[in-house]
C-alpha cells in the first residue's frame, strides 16, 4: 500500500480537503510508532514495554488471552487511557505528549468498540452529523452529505432516518464505523467489533472491515475472528501478560509459530 497518494485512497475516492496536510512523514516511515509503552493499574503491570511499528495501509491484528492488555493498548493509542511511560507517535505527532489535544488525536485515530454506543434519540444520520457539525464545523448540508456518503460506504444508505432501536446489532455497529470514518481518520481501531453479534451479523460488519482493508485504511484490530485475521491482516501480534510474545504475517504465525506460548494460544482458539 506504499504507493497510495495522499489525496485519494486506493479506490480513487477523494478524501477530505485537509488530507494532503494530515499525512505527515514520508511514505516509508511507519505511520504509528509505539515505543516502550508501560501501563499499570495498582500493582498490576498491564502493559510491560510494548514496541510496535505500523506502516500506512497495514492492518495489525492483536490477539491474546483475556486480560493480556489488548484493549488497554488500543485505548492508549487514542488517549482514552494515559500511558505511564513510553511514547506513541502518529506520523510526526506525539500522541502521548502532554500538550497534544486528546480530541484532535481521536479525530485522527477513530475507534469502534464492542459495545455499540450510538445516541438512542438520534437517527443514524444525526449520529454521524453531530460530530461533523460540532467538531469539524461543517454546515448542515455538508454534514448531511458527508454522513450519507459514509452510510453508503457501509451499506446503509437506506437506513439514514432509522433510530438505533430500529437497527440490528450489525447495522448499529456499521453506523458506528461510518461515524468514525466521517472524521476522515488516518487510522481506525477496532476492539472486538463483532464479539457481541451472532455470526450472520458479524459477517456484515466483517465485510465492511474487509472493504476498508481493500481501500488501504491503516487499521489496528483486536478480534477473535481468525478468518478476518487470515484474510485481512498484514501482521498479527500475539500479546500475553502485557508483552508481545510474537509478531509476524498471518501464515507464519498460524502455521509455524516460533514460541510454544503462541502455538498453545492458536490451538486453544481452534478448539473453541
Ligand X SMILES: Nc1ncnc2c1ncn2[C@@H]1O[C@H](COP(=O)(O)OP(=O)(O)OP(=O)(O)O)[C@@H](O)[C@H]1O
The number of residues that bind ligand X (CB under 6 A) is 11
The number of residues that bind Mg ion (CB under 5 A) is 1
As given in the structure block, the three cell numbers for residue 66 are: 483475556
Q: Is 159 in the site for Mg ion (CB under 5 A)?
A: no
Q: Is 61 in the site for ligand X (CB under 6 A)?
A: no
As given in the structure block, the three cell numbers for residue 32 are: 504509528
For CA atoms 102, 105, 111, 116, give the dihedral sign: positive
As given in the structure block, the three cell numbers for residue 266 are: 492458536
Indicate the pairing of strand 218-222 with strand 59-63.
parallel
Residue 218 interaction partner, one of ligand X, Mg ion, none, beta carbon < 5-8 Å per kind: none
Q: Is 68 in the site for ligand X (CB under 6 A)?
A: yes
Binding mask 70-109 for Mg ion (x = CB under 5 A): -x--------------------------------------
Figure out which of the listed residues 31, 32, 46, 63 binds ligand X, where binding follows CB under 6 A.
46
Window of 63-71, 164-172, 173-181, 210-218 that interacts with ligand X by CB under 6 A: 63-71
- State the Cα angle at 223 between 65 and 40, rounded to 5°: 50
> Which lies closer to Mg ion via its Cβ, residue 77 or residue 151?
77
- Cα dist. 235→25, 103, 265 in Å? 22, 28, 16
Residue 146 and residue 182 in contact, taking contact as beta carbons nearer than 8 Å:
yes
Rule CB under 6 A: which residues touch ligand X? 41, 44, 46, 64, 66-72
Rule CB under 5 A: which residues touch Mg ion? 71
Amino acid at each position: 500500500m506504499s504507493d497510495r497518494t495522499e489525496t485519494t485512497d486506493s479506490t480513487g475516492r477523494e478524501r477530505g480537503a485537509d488530507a494532503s496536510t494530515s499525512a505527515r512523514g514520508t511514505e516509508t516511515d511507519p505511520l504509528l510508532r509505539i515505543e516502550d509503552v508501560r501501563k499499570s493499574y495498582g500493582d498490576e503491570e498491564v502493559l510491560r514495554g510494548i514496541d510496535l511499528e505500523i506502516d500506512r495501509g497495514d492492518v495489525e491484528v492483536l490477539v491474546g488471552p483475556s486480560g493480556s492488555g489488548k484493549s488497554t493498548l488500543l485505548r492508549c493509542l487514542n488517549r482514552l487511557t494515559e500511558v505511564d511511560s513510553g511514547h506513541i507517535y502518529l506520523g510526526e505527532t506525539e500522541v502521548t505528549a502532554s500538550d497534544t489535544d486528546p480530541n484532535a488525536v481521536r479525530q485522527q485515530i477513530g475507534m469502534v468498540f464492542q459495545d455499540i454506543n450510538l445516541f438512542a434519540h438520534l437517527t443514524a444520520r444525526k449520529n454521524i452529523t453531530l460530530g461533523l457539525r460540532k467538531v469539524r464545523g461543517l454546515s448542515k448540508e455538508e454534514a448531511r452529505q458527508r454522513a450519507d456518503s459514509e452510510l453508503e460506504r457501509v451499506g446503509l444508505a437506506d437506513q439514514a432516518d432509522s433510530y438505533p432501536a430500529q437497527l440490528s446489532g450489525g447495522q448499529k455497529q456499521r453506523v458506528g464505523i461510518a461515524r468514525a470514518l466521517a472524521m476522515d481518520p488516518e487510522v481506525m481501531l477496532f476492539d472486538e467489533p463483532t464479539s457481541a453479534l451472532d455470526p450472520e451479523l458479524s459477517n456484515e460488519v466483517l465485510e465492511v472491515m474487509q472493504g476498508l482493508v481493500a481501500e488501504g485504511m491503516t487499521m489496528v484490530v483486536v478480534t477473535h475472528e481468525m478468518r478476518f485475521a487470515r484474510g485481512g491482516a498484514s501482521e498479527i501480534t500475539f500479546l500475553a501478560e502485557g508483552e508481545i510474545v510474537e509478531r509476524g504475517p498471518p501464515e507464519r504465525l498460524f502455521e509455524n509459530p516460533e514460541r510454544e506460548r503462541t502455538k498453545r494460544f492458536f490451538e486453544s482458539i481452534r478448539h473453541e
